[in-house]
């Protein structure tokens, strides 16, 4: 699936829920399915700066696509990074760089986060795109 198809799938999934309590629970459940980062990558270098919680992200290039793994010490944050990794993992760096993140507004996520979590969300997206820039440079 390409990034837009995954984003559309997420929008559809979130539209099934009546209220934000159900959506938060869904995000927590998504966090439990997150491909966990190996302990050796849970280092200071892999912590996303700008997040209130600790969020570790590791990326590696596999067959010209970036595979992301992550973890967080907070359950909602873990759900947020799980959504982002679902969208961007196993995609070509160029596709990640070209992708918009309008789906976040469409599911209403940003408006239902505290200001510090919303800043953390922006930092997570920025970091995933920085990995894409680095790997795109390697591929060229």
Q: How far apart are CA 7 and CA 74, in angstroms?
A: 23
Q: Which residues are catalytic?
A: 51
Residues 114, 117, 32, CA angle at the centre, nearest 5°? 115
Question: How do 55-62 and 65-72 pair as beta strands?
Answer: antiparallel
Residue in the block written with tokens 């922006």:
122
């Amino acid at each position: 699936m390409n990034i837009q198809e995954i984003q559309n799938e997420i929008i559809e999934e979130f539209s099934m829920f009546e209220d934000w309590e159900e959506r938060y629970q869904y995000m927590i459940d998504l966090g439990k399915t997150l491909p966990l980062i190996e302990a050796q990558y849970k280092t200071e270098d892999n912590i996303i700066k700008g997040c209130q919680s600790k969020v570790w992200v590791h990326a590696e290039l596999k067959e010209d696509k970036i595979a992301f793994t992550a973890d967080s010490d907070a359950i909602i944050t873990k759900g947020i990074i799980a959504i982002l990794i679902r969208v961007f993992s196993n995609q070509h760096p160029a596709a990640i760089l070209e992708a918009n993140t309008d789906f976040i507004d469409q599911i209403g996520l940003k408006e239902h986060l505290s200001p510090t979590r919303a800043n953390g969300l922006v930092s997570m997206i920025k970091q995933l795109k920085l990995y894409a820039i680095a790997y795109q440079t390697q591929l060229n």
